[in-house]
Structure 1
Amino acid sequence: MLNILTDALIRSTLPNGKTQRLFDGGGLYLEVSPRGGKWWRVKYQLQGKEKRLSLGTYPVVTLKTARERMLALKRQVADGVDPSAERKALKASRDGALTNSFEPIAREWHAEQHKPTVSEGQAKRIMARLESDVFPWLGKLPLAEITAPTILKTLRRVEERGAIETAHRELQTVSQIFRYAVATGRAERDPTPDLRGALKPFVTTHMASITEPEKVGELLRAIDGYTGSFVVKCALQLAPLTFVRPGELRAARWSEFDLDAGMWRIPAERMKGTKVAKAKGQDHLVPLSSQAVAILKALQPLTGHRPSVFPSTRGDGRVMSDMTMGAALRRLGFASDEMTAHGFRAMARTMLVERLNYDEAIVEAQLAHRVRDALGRAYNRTQFVDQRRAMMQAWGSYLDELKTGRATEAPPLKIVAGAGCN
């Protein structure tokens, strides 16, 4: 086989407006495009048919390498193997492995199964965690190659930065993805149960909250003396009186309030829950004590002309930042491990039951927690309205007494949730 081409000849061949072919020998040639691109091609015959195959581009594939690839191809042909068909089969195998790898299946699960059922924020958080903590190590691996030790090694990286809870959450997510793959016929089993007990234990900690009457009184007096924004002060004053979630309070709209009736109706779509619960659930009713109504009426002249009760100071239509109330508590001298904006819920939950002797079912209903009665029926957000209205007024009065130091420890009244309550 006579070799004709040289590197000097190849380099000196310039584009001339048409396709040029520089033949080397054995069917190998270099094709020079009108724009100057140079591709190695090889011609071969199999079963009486002439075929062509690309061997790469010059100078990435050198003349020497092109000749070596041509000879390997000729050996395949001599053995009765079609190099073109083999290349297509290899590509199909690689494409199949890529399609059956972890990341595309995880994204499919997220789009088809997870995202439609959870809030937009939660869906974004789950995908962000996968993209930062899981895909870089597991994303390109076929599911069949992902074992329990492989997953553990990936999650150890999360543990090492101190994010123990996140590691546990991501293990749950990986498990959901594998179960989806099993259900859709692309995996034999979920390997995550083999990791039971392998991760560092995570101890759940509750949001910091003050529940001692004397300290609660100090907190309430500090809030009343807040010298920052009046809007923030009103939010801090309403937080213990309504004990809704901070996000529900910050996003409150004036259209949700009936101050004459003393009722705040939070739409279901603003409540914590899945997309289905938000779309089909019930509004949450928050009876307003006279103290809460007074605060809202004092704030109304300032923000009542806007949709939001607590608008952002930036004036861009957004509501108060989720950091604002926490920062205000820090400014008042309450550290994050002592009191949080979410802690007003724990304060009310503990003190209403332990100090004021209210029935847990009614308190849980006011907290918008899903609890069940003796017959296993879930309380809905409109139950016990009369009892809750009385409880919220008693709570508002009790907080006033705590501020003045006149509060009694345990009033004898106890409201009991029973059949027929509305």
Structure 2
Amino acid sequence: MALKELEVRYATKRSRDYKLADGEGLHLLVRPNGSKLWRMKYRFEGREKLLSFGAYPQLGLAEARLKRAAARLELAAGRDPGARPDRKPAMTFEKAARAWHEHRAASLDPGHAARTLARLERDAFPALGKTDIRAVTSADVLAMVRSVEARGALDVSRRLKQHVSQIYRFAIPHGWADTDPAAYLSDLLKPKPRVRHMARVGMEELPKLVQAIDAYDGEETPRRRAVTRAALLFTLFSWARTNETRLATWDEFEGLETAEPLWRVPAARMKMEREHLVPLSTQAAALLVSLREISKTGFVFPGDKPNQPISQNTMIYGCYRMGYRGRQTVHGFRGLASTWANEAESYRPDWIEMALAHAERDEVRGAYNSALYLTPRRRMLQDWGNLVEHMVTSDAGVRRDDVEEVGPPLTAVA
């Protein structure tokens, strides 16, 4: 049904965009800020497109219908009414995206900024880059996202959708675009597969596991045995992921022999692509200090090959050798620590999630909450270190021939 002038004049704003249709593709888009914009949807060569005519009341209903009629004449003649044959688009998606990236790059970690631009150059620019930013439709963005999902990169596809929305939020105030075509695509994204929790023993078996690690006897040489044992213990103490531990370098640690030792894990090695600060317990710091005697490279946990860290499988094979195949993984150490901290009811969930380097589930809250909680996390990890140390008993089977290789056993670390 055709619109009436009074319907257009008195259309009120709502919490979300909505449309008032006039027929033959013409509609009035009413924005949450109260602006009213004339749009016309049409198809050309099998592709859905969108024309922008102007804002109401500067462009009235009658004038909008005249523009619709002119556009339909172009379509009838086999021409695209939205085409600009004599000049390039005033602002392409790629130009706007690069302007957005340049605007925010200085506030980002260089590695994170480079990865963001690389994603756009690999996936977004080939699909959308040369298109006038006003002409990009939701279908265009969804097609780009689907192509990324097709290769199994679900995390990348979600990040790209977020980048597109951020680019449009930057472009709209500059007058380059009017709407965000990615705004309502969240429900159409392919869901992430259900998280498969890594195997771990029950909390009642934690003391036995700690004792098995402290008495580790699964490598051919004392040096390999000492490094594997230290890597397992340090990962248990710090709640780190496997790659965060095995690729650790000495220059990432500060104040190991002070009251506030700290580990700065660079953003490039973090799952969430941002620097992670780990306040170390006295047990973790003492373990590192004792390890310096056998670490002859820049890596804290050196492997058998020159200037290389321990392999990806070193620690998990260590769990196998201790008899925990299928029952306990290295990643499962994090689950044990999280269970302990949550069940203790003495530590806020924010501290626990930050210690595990998890992303804020509430994206809006995450954008504003930049607290690091270093002081309460230091106390929490120190309590955990004290608990783990207490679990090691005098009959844990620590071999004295390893003392010179990696320093004192855990039972002697203060």
TM-score (normalizing by structure 1):
0.55
C-alpha change, 1:384 and 1:161, in structure 2 (3 Å) is closer
- Could you tell me which of 291, 306, 324 is aligned with 1:299? 291
C-alpha change, 1:259 and 1:176, in structure 2 (3 Å) is closer
Aligned mates of 2:106, 2:329 — CA distance in 1: 31
Aligned mates of 1:379, 1:110 — CA distance in 2: 26
Matched with 1:36 is: none
Matched with 1:125 is: 115
SS at structure 2 position matched to 1:266: strand
SS at structure 1 position matched to 2:142: helix
Matched with 1:201 is: 191
Matched with 1:328 is: 315
1:109 is displaced (CA, Å) by 1.7
Deviation track 1:359-390 (CA, whole Å, cap 9, x = no partner) reads: 34665675577999xxx995631247566534
Aligned mates of 1:337, 1:379 — CA distance in 2: 35
Matched with 2:382 is: 389
SS at structure 1 position matched to 2:261: strand
2:123 matched to 1:138? Answer: no
SS at structure 1 position matched to 2:301: coil
- Asked if the contact 2:213/2:233 (under 8 Å) is kept, the reply is no
Structure 2, unmatched stretches of 5+, are 1-83, 398-414
Query: Match of 1:382, as an amino acid?
Result: T
- Asked if the contact 1:117/1:274 (under 8 Å) is kept, the reply is no
Aligned mates of 1:190, 1:143 — CA distance in 2: 10
- Could you tell me which of 329, 347, 353 is aligned with 2:336? 347
Aligned mates of 2:380, 2:153 — CA distance in 1: 42
After TM superposition, list the pairs within 5 Å mapping 1:310-325 onto structure 2: 310-311=301-302, 315=306, 320=309, 324-325=311-312
Matched with 2:153 is: 163
Aligned mates of 1:172, 1:338 — CA distance in 2: 38
Aligned mates of 2:232, 2:188 — CA distance in 1: 43
- Could you tell me which of 230, 235, 240 is aligned with 1:239? 235
Structure 1, unmatched stretches of 5+, are 1-89, 406-422
Aligned mates of 1:161, 1:204 — CA distance in 2: 18
Deviation track 1:203-231 (CA, whole Å, cap 9, x = no partner) reads: 56276352513665675536823427343
- Asked if the contact 1:226/1:332 (under 8 Å) is kept, the reply is no
Query: Match of 1:353, as an amino acid?
Result: N
Query: Match of 1:359, as an amino acid?
Result: Y
C-alpha change, 1:147 and 1:273, in structure 2 (3 Å) is same
C-alpha change, 1:191 and 1:365, in structure 2 (3 Å) is closer
- Asked if the contact 1:103/1:138 (under 8 Å) is kept, the reply is yes
- Could you tell me which of 343, 347, 350 is aligned with 1:359? 347
1:155 is displaced (CA, Å) by 1.3
Deviation track 1:88-125 (CA, whole Å, cap 9, x = no partner) reads: xx99722xx2x622223222222222x33333333233
2:93 matched to 1:102? Answer: yes
C-alpha change, 1:368 and 1:205, in structure 2 (3 Å) is closer
Matched with 2:53 is: none
2:176 matched to 1:176? Answer: no
Query: Match of 1:251, as an amino acid?
Result: A
1:299 is displaced (CA, Å) by 1.7
1:151 is displaced (CA, Å) by 1.1
Aligned mates of 1:260, 1:193 — CA distance in 2: 51
Larger radius of gyration: 1
Aligned mates of 1:294, 1:189 — CA distance in 2: 56
After TM superposition, list the pairs within 5 Å mapping 1:78-89 onto structure 2: none
- Asked if the contact 2:281/2:382 (under 8 Å) is kept, the reply is yes
Matched with 2:37 is: none
2:102 matched to 1:111? Answer: yes
SS at structure 1 position matched to 2:166: helix
- Asked if the contact 1:217/1:404 (under 8 Å) is kept, the reply is no
1:168 is displaced (CA, Å) by 2.0
Aligned mates of 2:106, 2:197 — CA distance in 1: 29
Query: Match of 1:239, as an amino acid?
Result: T
Aligned mates of 1:170, 1:335 — CA distance in 2: 40
C-alpha change, 1:339 and 1:187, in structure 2 (3 Å) is farther
Query: Match of 1:397, as an amino acid?
Result: H
- Asked if the contact 1:148/1:192 (under 8 Å) is kept, the reply is yes
Query: Match of 1:253, as an amino acid?
Result: W
Aligned mates of 2:272, 2:157 — CA distance in 1: 23
Query: Match of 1:346, as an amino acid?
Result: G
RMSD of aligned Cα (Å): 4.5
Matched with 1:380 is: 373
C-alpha change, 1:158 and 1:310, in structure 2 (3 Å) is same
Matched with 1:288 is: 282
Matched with 2:40 is: none
SS at structure 2 position matched to 1:108: helix
Aligned mates of 1:300, 1:338 — CA distance in 2: 32
Which segment is superposed worse, 177-186 or 193-202?
Answer: 193-202
C-alpha change, 1:122 and 1:156, in structure 2 (3 Å) is same
